[in-house]
Amino acid sequence: MFDFDMLGLNKVLLNALKAGGFDTPTPIQNQAIPLAMDGHDILGLAQTGTGKTLAFGLPLIAHLMEEDTRPQTRTARALILAPTRELVNQISDALRVFTINTPIKIATVVGGQSINRQIGVMARGTDILVATPGRLIDLMDRGAVDLRQARHLVLDEADQMLDLGFIHALRRIAPKLGTPRQTMLFSATMPKQMEELSRAYLTNPRKVQVSPPGKAADKVTQSVRYMEKGDKPKVLREILQRDPTALTLVFARTKHGAEKLMTGLVADGFNAASIHGNKSQGQRDRAINGFRDGKINILVATDVAARGIDIPGVAYVINYELPDTPDNYVHRIGRTARAGREGEAIAFCCAEEVDLLVQIEKVMKAEIPVASGTRPRAVKMVKPQRGGGGGNAGAGAGRGRGPGQGAKPAGRPFANAAPKGRRPRRSTRAA
């Protein structure tokens, strides 16, 4: 295994890596960084928790340092798009560690925060802008952001952007960037639509893949427990009581369900908090920070947190309710066993969720070991009303633009996506 000295990074970044205790690059970093340093477009596929942020972040910072120019007012020299506020904050926090001794400035733009403050930040210009698509569109519509200087574009967790309906925002944003540019697309899964996305926005990309798409991290011990739906609260409490100080993420399917579950746990004496789309940005930040610091050891979440929490100490991920989208199971359990550590993922499954489990195992190409119970006969699930609690609401849209609103019907989701450098076709559809 090569160390970071062999990847073409400059001395400032190498010193920052050494100071931070980064001795050996992860497989995705080892493969992607040299290609990105050479200016290639990158299509990167890797499990969650394997170091994708530094795989694109380090060469991005290195390129900006080499260019040695300053951003003009309202401009950004590089744009990183991520689907949720939590992931935007995670990316910016990770990259700021490596810009401390450099002139590189990083700004974030997300929904749920003061748009006037963000307009003020962008008025000074920034080197790297990390943003959710919805709020970025809001600022562009107000003339507060000019992307013509941007020569670097990163799409992180691009498959979740597709799930949340951000393709319309992406169609509006990408043509506004300068050309030629370097584009890097990173994801933990590779749905069929991702191939269309890469063809539309990447030029002769180098594909970097360190694990099969949909495969869980190697050090996650998985199990499934079959039970009646009404037995879930009792079983959950039994598991939590066995290791009462461990950091545990509990996933629910809806916002209402997550809040109700958290309230019940607190009433029973557990140290729990919740994070979902109905929480304000301040509430979400306080919950995540409390969980990271160990002040809260149980965090109940919807899928809004599945890709926005990077806390190495998470020991358990409990799928109290299985996700509607199989790929989200992989992202959920990827919150444990991070940074080379081990972790345990426990799935609860009742008769209404058997079909969901079957789809998860199909995507993973493996059966999840059974810890207790026997698989019941599948029963059709009664889904909640639209808008009644999906965990991703408010993940970055502004001025009422929910991330799932206006999603294009399945079939040809990228029919109007313009390849880099080409003029997009006019569309009569609202973006």
Mean pLDDT, the chain, integer: 84
Q: What pLDDT, on the 0 to 100 scale, is given for residue 340?
A: 57
Which residue is associated with the tokens 């006037």? 116
The per-residue pLDDT for range 215-236, each reduced to its tens digit, is 555 578 999 999 999 999 999 9
The per-residue pLDDT for range 143-165, each reduced to its tens digit, is 999 999 999 999 998 877 876 67
Q: Find out whether 62 and 9 touch, Cβ atoms under 8 Å.
A: yes
Prior bond of 180 cis (ω within 30°): yes
Q: What is the helix (H) or strand (E) element at residue 50, kind and residue range?
A: none
Q: What is the helix (H) or strand (E) element at residue 255, kind and residue range?
A: helix 255-267
Report CA 10 to chain centroid distance, whole Å: 28
Residues in the chain: 431
SS3 204: coil
- Interval 284-300 mean pLDDT: 91
Q: Find out whether 88 and 131 touch, Cβ atoms under 8 Å.
A: yes
Query: How far from 210 is each of 52, 122, 157, 216, 250, CA to CA, in Å?
Result: 11, 36, 16, 12, 28
Question: Tell me, what DSSP letter sits at residue 243?
Answer: S
Q: What pLDDT, on the 0 to 100 scale, is given for residue 120?
A: 96
pLDDT at 174 over 50: yes
- Interval 21-41 mean pLDDT: 93
Task: Report the range of poorest mean pLDDT among 25-39, 54-68, 161-175, 184-198.
Answer: 184-198
Pairing between β-strand 343-349 and β-strand 314-319 as defined by DSSP bridges: parallel
| Residue 264 pLDDT class (50, 70, 90 cuts) | very high
Q: What pLDDT, on the 0 to 100 scale, is given for residue 306?
A: 58
More confident call, 410 vs 341: 341
Quote the tokens at residue 341.
């550590």
pLDDT at 341 over 80: no
Rounded Cα–Cα distance for residues 273 and 286 (Å): 9
Rounded Cα–Cα distance for residues 40 and 38 (Å): 6
Which residue is associated with the tokens 């599945």? 306
Q: What is the helix (H) or strand (E) element at residue 29, kind and residue range?
A: helix 27-37
More confident call, 331 vs 179: 179
Backbone angles phi, psi at 377, to 5 degrees: -70, 135
Rounded Cα–Cα distance for residues 63 and 55 (Å): 13
Rounded Cα–Cα distance for residues 336 and 315 (Å): 6
Report CA 162 to chain centroid distance, whole Å: 12
Which domains does the chain possess?
Answer: 4-209 (3.40.50.300), 220-372 (3.40.50.300)
Q: What pLDDT, on the 0 to 100 scale, is given for residue 254?
A: 92
Query: How far from 164 is each of 249, 404, 405, CA to CA, in Å?
Result: 22, 5, 8
- Interval 381-403 mean pLDDT: 43
Q: What is the helix (H) or strand (E) element at residue 377, kind and residue range?
A: none
- Interval 267-271 mean pLDDT: 96
- Interval 58-76 mean pLDDT: 94
- Interval 170-197 mean pLDDT: 86
